[in-house]
A and B are shown apart, each in its own frame.
Chain A
Amino acid sequence: AQKITQTQPGMFVQEKEAVTLDCTYDTSDQSYGLFWYKQPSSGEMIFLIYQGSYDEQNATEGRYSLNFQKARKSANLVISASQLGDSAMYFCAMRELNTGFQKLVFGTGTRLLVSP
């Protein structure tokens, strides 16, 4: 069964520093997609970055990059040069593409606090 694990309930980082948010996943499907979402205190879910299981390069989107280690089944989010506005909940999610009708499953999330 597909599962996402985020082991860090909370993380602290100083402004302008880099931070890594951990995500491991479990799946028996060879084809899947991994997603990271940000949820600020306003509650909206903001899509950040996507990594396909067959993508050979790590995904990057501006200050966000995804450290994809397929053998370890990990998909960590790296935020470079943290900003105060990065303070939010961050969720890792996975969709299996060949099984389970492509249902989308989330982890428990990590709350990131960025201090000045």
Chain B
Amino acid sequence: DVKVTQSSRYLVKRTGEKVFLECVQDMDHENMFWYRQDPGLGLRLIYFSYDVKMKEKGDIPEGYSVSREKKERFSLILESASTNQTSMYLCASSPQQLGGNTEAFFGQGTRLTVV
């Protein structure tokens, strides 16, 4: 059974704290993604990675950084958490291939509240 696991389901952090959201996949996928989901805005891509140590900015990278030291693990870092980063964060992974169905598999999500 394929699996993407996010380290926490719920998280409460204080403004200014450094926050780490961890994501692990067991499918040997090359691609990994971090999204935030807000009502009315859908899923917005923060960062993605197509290989170990490789990363690309998504549509809303400001205030975030990422780390991918191993193929199975992709971390999202909030350098100094702010209240406007309160959101649901979703991690996903997918294989990297040129054709066919390359559906992404999602973690269960982390609901982060910054107070």
Binding site for B on A (CB under 8 A): 6, 9, 31, 33, 35, 43-45, 47, 50, 52, 54, 91, 93, 95, 97, 100-109
| CB nearest to A39 among chain B residues | B37
B98 touching A101, Cβ below 8 Å = no
Q: Is the CB of A91 within 8 A of B43?
A: yes
Asked, given contacts A45-B90, A91-B42, whether A104 binds B104 with beta carbons under 8 Å apart, the answer is yes
8 new A-B contacts, CB < 8 A, other than A9-B40, A104-B45, are A33-B102, A45-B92, A47-B105, A93-B43, A103-B48, A103-B58, A104-B92, A108-B41
- Contact residues of B between 32 and 81, Cβ < 8 Å to A: 33, 35, 40-45, 48, 50, 56, 58-59
- Asked whether, in the complex, the Cβ of A102 is within 8 Å of the Cβ of B92, the reply is no
Write out the residue numbers on chain A whose beta carbons fall within 8 Å of the beta carbon of B35. 106
User: Hey, which chain B residues are within 8 Å of A109, CB to CB?
Assistant: 42-43
